[in-house]
Structure 1
Amino acid sequence: MSATGRGASARSASADREIVIARVIDAPRELVFEAFTEVRHLSRWWGPEGFSTTTQSFEFRVGGEWEFVMHGPDGTDYTEFISWTEIAPPERIALLHGESRDDPNAFESLLTFDAEGSATRIEMRTVFPTKELRDEAVEKYHAIEGGRQTLGNLAAYVTEVAQKGAEG
């Protein structure tokens, strides 16, 4: 099946500015979605391996914001800001992510959650304002590997939560 229509042309127009990472997680879609909606979950898995997260403020609603600091394994702190632009439980979350509210280099991400039997396929599609910003994220900040590790941390966390729920 070929992609057609406005959505397809928008995707091809942004292909050189985007990163797409997907993973199948052995947990129900509602639980995987919930892991993105509550700060008590996010603080347990968000970020690449070796990173931890401290939340300053969190309001999960369209127009709401999440301000946090990611602490790198080398001691570097990264101030981060996310504004939620679309929330469609348990199918989709869209957001704007940058270093601050007015960051001109902020990027857009669309997360989709698709049920695959008792598992969930999550796809994270990130579009940067320019190809150069995308390339910098990949080369300097290892965004692809970091995204894979972040989804790996999510998978480990929700799988553990699902197992505990099944046991209890």
Structure 2
Amino acid sequence: MTLNLNSDSTTPTAPDDRSDRFATLTFERDVAAPLSVLWQAWTVPAARAVWSAPTPSVTVEFLEADTRVGGREVSLCKVKGQPDIRCENGWLELQTAARSVNYEVVSSRGVTQSAALVTADFSGEDERSRLVVTVQLSSLAGEMEAGYRRGFGAGLDNLAAVAERTMVLQRVIRAPRTMVWSAWMNPETLPQWWGPDGFSCRTKRIDLQTGGEWVFDMIAPDGTVFPNHHLYYEVRPEERIGYTLHSGENGPKHADAWALFEDQDGATKVTLGMVFSTAAEFQEAKGFGALELGLQTLGKLERFVVSR
């Protein structure tokens, strides 16, 4: 999470003894998205990168991201003409779709400005969910409360909007994670199963590594051609993939996407998520059955892996 970099509270000052250096802040949001989707938007690095900047003038650069208990996330918040703000989050507790707890340390020019304990509680049913975030803040470099209120408030507004245009597909595949990963990240095998039932892939270029790409056409059963371009910006072996989806080679981006791979009693839980660039694109995708077609794709992956 980022605080408001346009506030004066980011200017380092000497610590003082004022009691107002300590504050407990509470933020609540009702979100028009299933609880499982909101959890993914809150925890998955690819989604956090979409909503974390509080305003368009702020650029957030993620230096590392490891969403597991004991892992941490380090980012730089940048505004033209201002010193970079470094934010380190460390994950202390992760109860899927229920609660997360993390510490947050904010610094600038090597000087710590604040430390906070952030607790997020999740609840929901059907297509609606609720998030309550409690921030226990200690301002070490001047008054930070106002900046936190603006930054967290804007960030959570962004999160709600992102969750409402996010699609999440999951399937437990009856095969070890190594086999599932190999089928996905092998340039020979990925085109063999990718796509809904009856679709085939025609590859132009494929390079499945960080900084790589896959340029291909998806061909429908009736012969309709759908140009695709995947750009991979993160590949963590047997853990996750982060990439963007484009309509044809160098075409407009229509989604930020990720794939997660988790061991589950000898099987593999695969999660495929997509944050569509606009709410209209999300609604259009839902309208033509993208959720069902995506689940068909994961079904083809399972059949491919099990048959080998």
3-state SS of 1:106 partner: strand
User: Which among 219, 227, 249 is matched to residue 71 of structure 1?
Assistant: 219
- Specify the structure having the higher radius of gyration (Cα): 2
Once the two structures are superposed, what CA deviation does each residue of 1:79-115 show, in whole Å capped at 9, x if it has no partner? 1110111100100001111123433342111110000
**Distance in structure 2 (CA, Å) of the matches to 1:26 and 1:74:** 31
Which aligned pairs between 1:17-166 and structure 2 lie closer than 5 A?
Answer: 17-140=165-288, 142-161=289-308
- Structure 2 CA distance, aligned partners of 1:101 and 1:55? 12
Please identify which structure carries the higher strand content: 2
Between the aligned partners of 2:281 and 2:173, the Cα distance in structure 1 is 29
- Could you give the per-residue CA deviations for residues 58-98 of structure 1, whole angstroms, max 9, x where no partner exists? 01111111011111001101111101111001000011111
Q: Supply the AA of the counterpart residue of 2:205.
A: S
CA RMSD in angstroms, aligned pairs only: 1.8
Give 3-state SS (helix, strand or coil) of 1:110's partner. Answer: strand
Structure of greater relative contact order (alpha carbons < 8 Å, 6+ residues apart): 1
- For 1:105 and 1:81, the matched residues in 2 are separated by 9
| Amino acid in the other structure paired with 1:85 | Y
Q: 1-side partners of 2:261 and 2:306: how far apart?
A: 15
147-156 or 31-40: bigger deviation: 31-40
Stretches of structure 1 lacking an aligned partner (at least 5 in a row): 162-168
Residues 25-76 of structure 1, C-alpha deviations (whole Å, 9 max, x = no match): 0001011111121121112211000001111110111111101111100110
Please identify runs of 4+ aligned residues in structure 1 that moved more than 2 A: 1-6, 8-13, 100-106
- Residue 47 of structure 1 contacts residue 149 of structure 1 at CA under 8 Å; is this kept in 2? yes
Q: Specify every segment of 5 or more residues in structure 2 that has no aligned partner in the other structure, as ranges.
A: 1-97, 101-119, 121-132, 134-151
Higher helix share: 1
CA contact (8 A) 1:105 1:133 kept: no
